[in-house]
Amino acid sequence: MKRLMIWLPLALFLGALVLFAGRLMQPDDHLVVSKLVGKPLPVFTLPPAASDRAGLTSAQLATGKPRLLNIFASWCVPCAAEAPQLMALKQAGVEIDAIAIRDARPDVDAFLSRWGNPYTRIGLDARSGVQIALGSSGVPETFVIDGQGHIAHQHIGDIREDDVPKLLALLERAK
Amino acid sequence: MMRILAFLALLLAVPVHAQTALPPALYADRQIADPALEKKASELMATIRCLTCQSQSIADSNASMAGDMRSEIRQRIMAGESPEHIRGWLIERYGDWVSYQPTAAPILWPLWAAPLLLLALGAFLMRGRLKRGEKR
Amino acid sequence: MIAEAGLAALWFAAALALLQLALTAFGLAGGKSDLLGAVRPVAVAQGVLTAIAFIALIALFLRSDMSVLLVSTNSHSAKPWLYKFAGTWGNHEGSMLLWVTVMGLAGAAVALFERALRRDTHMATLGGQAAISLGFYAFLLFASNPFARVTPAPQDGQGLNPLLQDPGLAFHPPTLYLGYVGLSVAFSFAIGALLTRNVDASFARAMRPWVLAAWVLLTLGITAGSYWAYYELGWGGWWFWDPVENASLMPWLAATALLHSVTVLATRDSLRAWTVMLAVVAFSMSMVGTFLVRSGILTSVHAFAVDPSRGTFILVLLAFYIGGALALFGWRVGAVREGAQFQMVSRETMLVINNLLLTVILGVVLIGTLYPLMTEAFGHKVSVGPPYFDRVAGPIALTLMLAMAVGPLMRWRRDQAGVVARRIAVPAAIGLVALVTLALTVGRTIGVLPFAGLVIAAGVGVASLAPLWKRNLLRTPLFTWGMVIAHLGCAVSVAGMAADSAFTQEKLVAARPGDRIDAAGWTIVFDRILPIAGDNWTALQADMTVSRGGGTPVAIHPQSRFFTTPPTTTTEAALLTRWNGQLYIVLGQEADQGRWQLRIWWKPFVTFIWLGGALIALGGVLALIGRERRGWQHKWRGRRVEA
């Protein structure tokens, strides 16, 4: 017993060392992933965020066909950066709905006329309530929604060019 | 690579993020009139981790999303929801990560057991140092 | 030229550390004891060289020599001189140079002033110190050279992070580092004692002043850091249980335990292996803390230069030194007899309880800090924050306070429970009065922990003075005074913490200039808001006059400051200190229609937290002077008798 106690500190330290080394090799990604992936969308109804697009309700996202739900804001720079990729997805026949976070209609209109409008419907989430309900932690984020209105995948951050085929594959799989 | 070097520097400042121009949500920085409810809300807010500045509670953060979460929490408290229910609702969305107060999830059992185990181990070690039952 | 001289001094110092290690190794193990004569001069020379290197870096910062990479990336010629000076250690390389300088100077001090230790143990200790220094020299020279030049030299520097431009930077990091690194002396003592199989009371007496000195500095550093965070962050909090704060607390907890166990070893020649273990743990915690902070493996509010490759380097150092020391411990300590057993009712029992509880708190803080790393290895992200640490460490710390009240009133070896009960009767009665008063006045409106904290602080505050009862205060030894004041400081600090958490009143308002705000008995008149310009910032300043109960109005000026390089906004809270608390006002963002968001706190007795910290450090200083003076007196008398 005494021998065990004598070597215990070294054993604990070696354990900690392994832990530290593991973390150094695989640093924290600082991403907070929504726990709702694989679960149904929360129920919500949002007013229109843009002059020429309708608002958005959760029921409109469960139409039997997989689609994308993009979380964006007119004040967010990466959201403008991912606009071409969203356009490309739209051209590939993907239906994209959006939620604009903490935004105002004139700002959203200006943003869309400048960077393009790939969205079918845009809901306005002025106080981030639906964003929080979705478990989303920032802008931009993109959710893949399957035909039954379940969240199939969450893409955190802006969509890069090489993410486009990945999202297309995920949409295919969500059918 | 972050080259802003800081030494034991408190991140006293909020980097000027692109943040919305909208004014803060109604109850982001406004207290509930009833002090008892406000106390409940502020105690909860102090234990919810901010999603944008990840080392602060939403009570201390100036991020707009933290403000929205504070407003959401105050409004739910006013509607009669219990703080633990709101915490549970947030954990359902963001996982155990969002609560600075560790939950009772099985993966956290060892954490809660740690102090007791350490005390027991210490008492065991100490036992050998004391003379027992010897009175003069 | 200065940079090259500094670098050369560092290389020479490193070479001397290698020489020092070789001399002690061959001298002790190889039986060439004539080599040992050179060890002390080498250690002193090494200390001098590190100081030269450090002074060189300070000179480069003061002269704003932009051809030095470190200066150009962290300083600016237009900065006030204080921040040029303090900016020397306001960055990774400079702070690591401070680290090795403290290590070198501590080694030199051990070589020069240590007289009580057996010669072979003394030499082995210096060998240990050299071995640790070598690793950090390597880290500095190969991975964080502070003297590297840059060509072409830029016109001017990028400036010090504006957040650091505070007098706190001049005081907090150096004291903390002196404490952290000062513990390396205790570590080296432990290595020396294990190598030369010399763990006994005289070893403990020799080690005690070094531990005390490091502990005092650590206490000051933490106290200063806590106050800095409190007034700068603008959140009204003074401790956040953030990983970086925990990293500074853990060495302090270990050092506090060590301070008490070393007394048991010095007085009763017991707890030998345990004391050696604590000496190893204390500095190990300093190194682990440095690793956690510099490698960036934990997220923290305290921004640090984070670099995984440097993290790897420090990790190797950790593996080498801590692993080596613990292996040496396991290998050698079996032969160390733990010493005499104790009677149940005795001061040594209380000191063992002190060690037990401090170690449990240390364990809890360590586990809580690392737990998110462990769960993430299983793909599960969790957070461990203030609610956990408060709930777990709080009750243990309060129990520890009770032991602290009783311990000094007990005799060594054996005491009688009835007699001790009589000695503790008055403090216990005071505690009871506090309990009843609080129960009748604030009752259930405050939490259990703050309630218990206030009651215990009252009782322990009185109990801590009890050892002076019926004594001639002038003839009471200085180290007894030290103990009394340090223990009183603990009670004062706990009272401040409990009062802050129980009675703080917060008010959030959106106010317009001209508005009158009533908060926590204060009347705050928001006179106006206007832009002002500082050295390298502009600010929006709110002018307010505050008064309480018809008293004289006082002007205060909370600010919101804007820096352009890098673009940051900081809040400069306005603090108004009264004997019974602090008024704390933060100017927030503009809300709407010309109204400004204000955060107002009245924090009763919050200053007691840091006042207590200062008392604890003062107690340490008195104990140190008292012990040293007695040592000299003994020596002097001994010499006179011989003559």
Residue C544 backbone dihedrals phi, psi, to 5 degrees? -135, 150
Q: Residue C343 and residue B119: Cβ atoms within 8 Å?
A: no
The three-state secondary structure class of C56 is: helix
Cβ atoms of residues B17 and A138 within 8 Å? no
Q: Residue B95 and residue A103: Cβ atoms within 8 Å?
A: no
Q: Residue C589 and residue B62: Cβ atoms within 8 Å?
A: yes
- H or E segment to which residue C193 belongs: helix C168-195
Cβ atoms of residues C124 and C192 within 8 Å? yes
Set of chain B residues whose Cβ sits within 8 Å of the Cβ of A36: 92-93
pLDDT at residue number B135:
43
Set of chain B residues whose Cβ sits within 8 Å of the Cβ of A133: 93
Stretch 9-68 of chain B: residues touching chain C, C-beta under 8 Å = 9-16, 23-24, 29-31, 42, 46-47, 49, 53-57, 59-60, 62
pLDDT at residue number B20:
62
Q: Which of B22, B90, B125 sits opposite A102 (nearest CB)?
A: B22
pLDDT < 70 positions in chain C? 302-306, 565-566, 635, 638-643
Give the mutation candidate from B74, B94, B121 for the A interface (greatest A CB count, under 10 A).
B94
pLDDT at residue number C379:
86
Q: How far apart are CA A104 and CA C367, in angstroms?
A: 46
Q: How far apart are CA B112 and CA B116, in angstroms?
A: 8
Cβ atoms of residues C243 and C307 within 8 Å? no
Q: Residue B8 and residue C304: Cβ atoms within 8 Å?
A: yes
pLDDT in tens, chain A (175 residues): 677 889 999 999 999 999 999 988 888 778 889 999 999 999 999 999 999 999 999 999 988 899 999 999 999 999 999 999 999 999 999 999 999 999 999 999 999 999 999 999 999 999 899 999 999 988 899 999 998 999 999 999 999 999 999 999 999 998 8
Mean pLDDT value of segment B55-82: 92
B11 pLDDT band (50/70/90 cuts)? very low
Q: How far is B34 from chain A (nearest CA, A)?
A: 23
Q: Which of C341, C352, C591 sits opposite B131 (nearest CB)?
A: C341
Does B25 reach chain A within 8 Å, measured CB to CB? Answer: yes
Q: How far apart are CA C400 and CA C356, in angstroms?
A: 9
Q: How far apart are CA C352 and CA C403, in angstroms?
A: 10
Count Cβ atoms below 10 Å from residue C80 Cβ, excluding itself: 11
Provide the residue type at C586 as one letter.
V
pLDDT at residue number C580:
92
Q: How far apart are CA C131 and CA B78, in angstroms?
A: 62
Q: How far is C509 from chain A (nearest CA, A)?
A: 20
Cβ atoms of residues C348 and B61 within 8 Å? no
Q: How far apart are CA C84 and CA C64, in angstroms?
A: 8
Strands A96-101, A122-125: pairing is parallel
Residue B10: pLDDT above 70?
Answer: no
Residue B8: pLDDT above 60?
Answer: no
HSE, side-chain direction, 13 A CA sphere, residue C85: 9
Q: How far is the CA of A133 from the CAs of A127, B86, C421, in angstroms?
A: 11, 12, 59
Q: How far is the CA of A125 from the CAs of A32, A101, A117, C299, C332, in angstroms?
A: 20, 5, 18, 30, 67
Count Cβ atoms below 10 Å from residue C81 Cβ, excluding itself: 10
pLDDT at residue number C639:
61
Set of chain C residues whose Cβ sits within 8 Å of the Cβ of B105: 382
Set of chain A residues whose Cβ sits within 8 Å of the Cβ of B23: none
Set of chain A residues whose Cβ sits within 8 Å of the Cβ of C326: 9-10, 13
Set of chain C residues whose Cβ sits within 8 Å of the Cβ of A20: 291, 295, 297, 315, 318, 373
Chains that touch B (3 or more CB pairs under 8 A): A, C
Q: How far apart are CA B85 and CA B89, in angstroms?
A: 6
Does A141 reach chain B within 8 Å, measured CB to CB? Answer: no
Residue C538 backbone dihedrals phi, psi, to 5 degrees? -120, 160
Give the mutation candidate from C283, C297, C371 for the A interface (greatest A CB count, under 10 A).
C297
HSE, side-chain direction, 13 A CA sphere, residue C503: 24
Set of chain A residues whose Cβ sits within 8 Å of the Cβ of B69: 128, 132
Set of chain C residues whose Cβ sits within 8 Å of the Cβ of B95: 380-382
Q: How far apart are CA C298 and CA C288, in angstroms?
A: 12
* DSSP sequence for chain A: -HHHHHHHHHHHHHHHHHHHHHHHHS--------TTTTSBPPP-EE-BSSTTSB-EEGGGG-SSS-EEEEEE-TT-HHHHHTHHHHHHHHHTT--EEEEEES--HHHHHHHHHHH----SBEEEETTSHHHHHHT--SSSEEEEE-TTSBEEEEEESPPPTTHHHHHHHHHHHT-
Q: How far is B87 from chain C (nearest CA, A)?
A: 13
* Tokens, residue C360: 């449990």
pTM: 0.93
Q: Which of A7, A10, A19 sits opposite C377 (nearest CB)?
A: A19
Q: Residue A102 and residue B97: Cβ atoms within 8 Å?
A: no
Chains that touch C (3 or more CB pairs under 8 A): A, B
Mean pLDDT value of segment B67-95: 95
What letter does residue C579 receive in the DSSP assignment?
T
Q: How far apart are CA C610 and CA B25, in angstroms?
A: 36
* Tokens, residue A148: 């039954």
Instruction: Give the angle subtended at the CA of C412 by the CAs of C408 and C418, to the nearest 5°.
Output: 70
Residue A147 backbone dihedrals phi, psi, to 5 degrees? -60, -25
Q: How far apart are CA C33 and CA C37, in angstroms?
A: 8
Q: Residue C163 and residue B10: Cβ atoms within 8 Å?
A: yes
Q: How far is the CA of C131 from the CAs of A116, B51, C78, C94, C104, in angstroms?
A: 64, 44, 41, 21, 11
Nearest-Cα residue of chain C relative to residue B94:
C381
Set of chain B residues whose Cβ sits within 8 Å of the Cβ of C172: 8
Provide the residue type at C11 as one letter.
W
Q: Residue C299 and residue B55: Cβ atoms within 8 Å?
A: yes
Q: How far apart are CA B32 and CA B35, in angstroms?
A: 7
Q: How far apart are CA C109 and CA C50, in angstroms?
A: 13
